[in-house]
Amino acid sequence: MEILELVLRRNGKPVLKTPVKMVIIFVPSVILAGLSSFRYGLGLRMANFFTTQTDASYAMDMEIIFLSDRGEKSRTSSYKLASKTPHEFKVRSAALPESRNEVTSIDERIRILQLGSMFAIWYLLNIYFNIYNKQVLKVYPFPATVTAFQFGCGTVLILLMWALNLHPKPKVSRSQFAAILLLALGHTVGNLLTNVSLGKVAVSFTHTIKAMEPFFTVLLSALYFGERPSIWVVSSLVPIVGGVALASFTEASFNWIGFGSAMASNLTNQTRNVFSKKLMVRKEETLDNINLFSIITIISFLFLAPSAILLEGVKFSPSFLATQGFNVKDLCIRLILSGFCFHTYQQVSYMILQMVSPVTHAVGNSVKRVVVIVSSVIFFQTPVSPINSLGTALALAGVFLYSRAKRIKAKVA
C-alpha cells in the first residue's frame, strides 16, 4: 500500500503546525489525488494533515507526495489552495491532466517511445547475432554444434528467468505439449538450415533468399487449408520471386548448399508457422508467446544436442579445439555472444508481437531484414554488383508490399 504525505507551503517554506480533521480538505484535494493515484495504479492510505493560518489572503501551496512500499518517492502532485477562512481550503489549480484525451495522448506517446525502443533493440540484436554467428561459422564450420550451443544459451537464460520469477512459469496440458513438440521440431530444423546457409554464403545473400518466406506462406496456406490469396497478395509475390532470382544469378558467393539450405529453411519455418494456427489448442493463462517460445527453445536444445554429436561428432572438446589451432578464448566469447543475441532477439520479437498486430510485426520484420543486409555488407565488405543490389532491393520491396497487402485483406475481413 502506498503512503500519502501532505506538505503545505507558504512563501515556498513548509508550514507544518496544527493537525486538521480529514474532512476539512478531504473532499477538494484528496479525491483529486485519488484520481491521480488510480491513473498511476497507486493505492492510498491517509496520514495526518497539517495547516496553518496565513495572512489575509489565506493562499497556500500544497504538495501531495506518493511514496512506494520501499519508502522511495514515486510521484508528486502540486496544487494551489485558496480559502476565505483559515481552515477550509479549496483546490484552485492542480498539476493533473485536464481531460481523458490528454491522458490518452500521454499514454500514446509513452507507448510509441517504448515500442520504438523495442524495435531498435530487436534490430541491434539481429545485427550483432549475424555478425558474431558468421565469424564463428567461418572458422568453426559445424552448424549443428553451433546451433545446439545457441539453443543451450537460450535454455540457461529461460531457466534463470523462471527461477528469478521474472516471468510466470507455464502450465502445459498434454494436448498442448504434443502440438509444441511439432512446432519445436520445425523450429530446430529451420534454425539449423539457416546456420548451414550462413556458413556457406554471405549473410546478405542468405537474408535475401529468406525474403521468399511470404511465397511459401501463401503456397502452403493454399495447398493445405484452401486459403485463396487476394490479387494484391499474389501481385506482391512477383517482385519477391523475381528479386531473389536476380540476386541469385549475380551473387559472388553463390553456393548450391547455401542456397538450398536457405530455401529449405523458408519451407520449414513457414510450415511451422502455418500449421501452428491449427495445432495449438486454447492457450492457458500462463502460456503466452514468451512462454511458448521458451518451451520451444528448451525442446529444440534437447532435440539438437544429441543430434549434433551424431552428425558432427564431439567437436567442442578442449583437445579437439587445441589440435585445430583455434583461438579457444576468442571462439568461446563469440559463441556465447552469438547465443545470447540469438535468444534475446527472438524473445524481443515475441514481446513486440504482443504489443502490435501481426501485420505491423511483419512490416517491422521486413525493415529488420533490410537493416541486417546493409549492416552485414558494410561490416564484411561483401562485394555487391549493381544488378545484385537491384535484385535484393526488389525482393525486399516485394516483402513490404506483401505486408501492406495483408493489412488491406485484414481491414476488408
3-state secondary structure 103-152: HHHHHHHHHHHHHHHHHHHHHHHHHHHHHHHHHHHHHCCCHHHHHHHHHH
Q: Which residues contact 18 (CB under 8 A, 6 or more apart)?
A: 50, 51, 52
Are 179 and 281 contacting, i.e. CB atoms less than 8 angstroms apart?
A: yes
Q: How high is the pLDDT of residue 196?
A: 96
Residue 256, pLDDT > 80, answer: yes
User: Over pLDDT 90: what percentage of the chain?
Assistant: 35
Calculate mean pLDDT across residues 21-46: 35
Q: What is the DSSP letter of 210?
A: G
Instruction: Clarify whether residues 149 and 225 are in a common domain.
Output: yes
130: phi then psi, degrees, rounded to nearest 5: -65, -35
Q: Give which of 383, 394, 388 is closest to 247, Cα–Cα.
A: 388
Calculate mean pLDDT across residues 193-205: 94
Instruction: Clarify whether residues 62 and 189 are in a common domain.
Output: no
pLDDT band at residue 242, thresholds of 50, 70 and 90?
very high
From 67, 96, 125, the end of a domain falls on 96
In the predicted model, what is the mean pLDDT of the chain? Answer: 77
Quote the pTM value.
0.70
Structural domain harbouring 24: 3-96
Q: How high is the pLDDT of residue 411?
A: 58
Q: How many CB atoms within 10 Å of residue 39?
A: 14
User: Over pLDDT 70: what percentage of the chain?
Assistant: 71
Q: How high is the pLDDT of residue 327?
A: 80
One-letter amino acid of 176: Q
Domain count, the chain: 2
Are 24 and 32 contacting, i.e. CB atoms less than 8 angstroms apart?
A: no
Instruction: Clarify whether residues 62 and 92 are in a common domain.
Output: yes
Q: How high is the pLDDT of residue 64?
A: 56
Instruction: Clarify whether residues 228 and 333 are in a common domain.
Output: yes
Given the DSSP bridges, would you call strands 49-51 and 59-67 parallel, antiparallel or unpaired?
unpaired
From 34, 69, 96, the end of a domain falls on 96
Are 110 and 355 contacting, i.e. CB atoms less than 8 angstroms apart?
A: no
Q: How high is the pLDDT of residue 289?
A: 80
Instruction: Clarify whether residues 27 and 135 are in a common domain.
Output: no
The lowest-confidence range among 34-48, 125-139, 241-255, 353-367 is 34-48
Q: How far apart are CA 7 and CA 5, in angstroms?
A: 7
Element (H, E) at 4: strand 3-10
Q: How many CB atoms within 10 Å of residue 173?
A: 12
Instruction: Clarify whether residues 153 and 35 are in a common domain.
Output: no
From 96, 120, 155, the end of a domain falls on 96
Calculate mean pLDDT across residues 142-147: 95
Residue 390, pLDDT > 90, answer: yes
The lowest-confidence range among 199-203, 223-227, 247-251 is 223-227
Instruction: Clarify whether residues 55 and 121 are in a common domain.
Output: no
Residue 165, pLDDT > 70, answer: yes
Residue 296, pLDDT > 60, answer: yes
Residue 309, pLDDT > 80, answer: yes
Instruction: Clarify whether residues 318 and 390 are in a common domain.
Output: yes
Instruction: Clarify whether residues 381 and 260 are in a common domain.
Output: yes
